[in-house]
Amino acid sequence: MYSLIKKILFLLDPETSHTISLKALKWCHRLGLTKLFSTKIKAPCEFMGLHFENPIGLAAGLDKNADYVDALSDLGFGFIEIGTVTPRTQMGNPKPRLFRLVNEEAIINRMGFNNKGADYVVKNLKKSRYRGVLGINIGKNKETPLDQAADDYVICFRKLAPFASYITINISSPNTPDLRNLQASAQLDALLTTMKAEQQYFNVEYQRYVPLVVKIAPDLTDDEVKEIAAILIAKKIDGVIATNTTISRDGINESRYKNEAGGLSGKPLQKRSADIIKKLHQHLQDRIPIIGVGGIMDEASANEKWKAGAKLLQIYTGFIFKGPGLIKRLSRTKMSS
Ligand SMILES: Cc1cc2nc3c(=O)[nH]c(=O)nc-3n(C[C@H](O)[C@H](O)[C@H](O)COP(=O)(O)O)c2cc1C
């Protein structure tokens, strides 16, 4: 069924087909049709004090504004991460900014945090009926200077934490100029000190501990991974997502889009992100759970992530190329690994 839908969707420009398919999914949900196909995939697990129905989640970027959370939840994800959300609405980069590399099973995107801002997302989440694990991925607006980035993360945390199972601090998108500099030791240490204080304050005020998760890039050196791991432990961060998209073009030979600027995701990212997870796990051991993401397209690539040390997985590009059936297939790998 999905291969037929995909054939039609892949005829359209990627951003148009993205919007159409999500809107169609929402309509199917409203009409009660998704319930007919909805699957509850049971492979329960607990991390960060949260209960996951299964360990396969939707990665950030697909539903930037929480417009589709209820509809997406019918597809069987064990958790859903929305965003990246910035304090204020922003358009993102000019189109075209999303490219499908069909033969490589990959995507290049330079969306640039197009989103409707934290207040809009709050309105949506107030209406949502989803009660599963919801991650909210936050970032800074493009025009906010890097030395004031923490203010943007704090604004987002204060507005969104009441609706979040966990908050992801995104410092690894390649499409917001200089954002990745926040991964450098001094900057990361300062940002996480601020965010831990926010978490603590929220905990005291509202009697709820909202785990903080940091999302890192796949383009880090071994030394950088080691330094980041040390800071995550020192700051008592609750989880880490590895990885975001890559600026490398390894594994892309022929596509006419290979020279497009942006982050590459999907199959060519798989090994690179698994390597980062492995190195991260060597430093963290099991003190901080790793959420593995990057090029998970089938059971074999999922198994590689489990072996590298991931405790939960997320998918984006694999979901686009293989469809919702992938969630169930991947949940089984966990159960048998
Ligand atoms: C079109 C697109 C938009 C994305 N937007 C975001 C985003 O806003 N925030 C974020 O943290 N990651 C974003 N990502 C990265 C994904 O969450 C994921 O980390 C990455 O694509 C690797 O996983 P994959 O190979 O399964 O796609 C985006 C990815 C794609 C393809």
Mean pLDDT over 171-195 rounds to 97
CA 245 to ligand 1 center in whole angstroms: 6
pLDDT for the residue numbered 335: 57
Please indicate whether residue 273 is annotated as part of the active site.
no
* Residue of minimum CA distance from atom 6 in ligand 1: 61
Beta bridge partners of 170: 215
Domain ranges of the chain: 34-336
Mean pLDDT over 225-251 rounds to 98
Q: Between 5 and 302, whose confidence is greater? A: 302
Query: Looking at ligand 1, which atom is closest to the CA of residue 273?
Result: 22
* DSSP class of 313: E
Residue pair 231/192 in contact (Cβ under 8 Å)? The answer is: yes
> For residue 1, is pLDDT > 90?
no
pLDDT for the residue numbered 16: 95
User: Which residue of the set 17, 73, 172, 173 is catalytic?
Assistant: 173
> For residue 233, is pLDDT > 60?
yes
pLDDT for the residue numbered 109: 98
Residue pair 183/224 in contact (Cβ under 8 Å)? The answer is: yes
**Average pLDDT of every residue of the chain:** 96
- Alpha-carbon span 146 to 9, nearest angstrom: 38
> For residue 77, is pLDDT > 60?
yes
Mean pLDDT over 58-67 rounds to 98
CA 268 to ligand 1 center in whole angstroms: 14
**CATH classification number, 34-336, choose in 3.40.35.10, 3.30.390.50, 3.30.565.10, 3.20.20.70:** 3.20.20.70
> For residue 131, is pLDDT > 60?
yes
Residue pair 242/224 in contact (Cβ under 8 Å)? The answer is: no
3-state helix, strand, coil in the chain (%, to 5): 45, 20, 40
Query: Of 116, 244, 257, 320, which is best to mutate to test ligand 1, by the most ligand atoms within 8 angstroms of its C-beta?
Result: 244
For residue 84, name the pLDDT band (cuts at 50, 70, 90).
Answer: very high
Q: Which residue is associated with the tokens 């990885």?
A: 243
pLDDT for the residue numbered 39: 76
Report the percent of the chain where pLDDT is more than 70.
99
Query: Of 116, 137, 260, 316, which is best to mutate to test ligand 1, by the most ligand atoms within 8 angstroms of its C-beta?
Result: 316
For residue 337, name the pLDDT band (cuts at 50, 70, 90).
Answer: very low
CA 37 to ligand 1 center in whole angstroms: 26
> For residue 145, is pLDDT > 70?
yes
Dihedral angle of Cα 127, 63, 162, 212, to the nearest 10 degrees:
160
The b/e string for 20-55 (b: 16+ C-beta within 10 A; e otherwise) is ebbeebbebbeeeebeeeeeebebeeebbebebbbb
Distances, alpha carbon 178 to alpha carbons 58, 120, 143, in Å: 26, 26, 11
Does 87 sit in the ligand 1 pocket, CB within 6 Å? no
pLDDT tens readout for residues 7-44: 899 999 999 999 999 999 999 999 998 877 777 889 99
CA 286 to ligand 1 center in whole angstroms: 25
The b/e string for 161-172 (b: 16+ C-beta within 10 A; e otherwise) is bebbbbbbbbbb
> For residue 182, is pLDDT > 50?
yes
> For residue 91, is pLDDT > 50?
yes
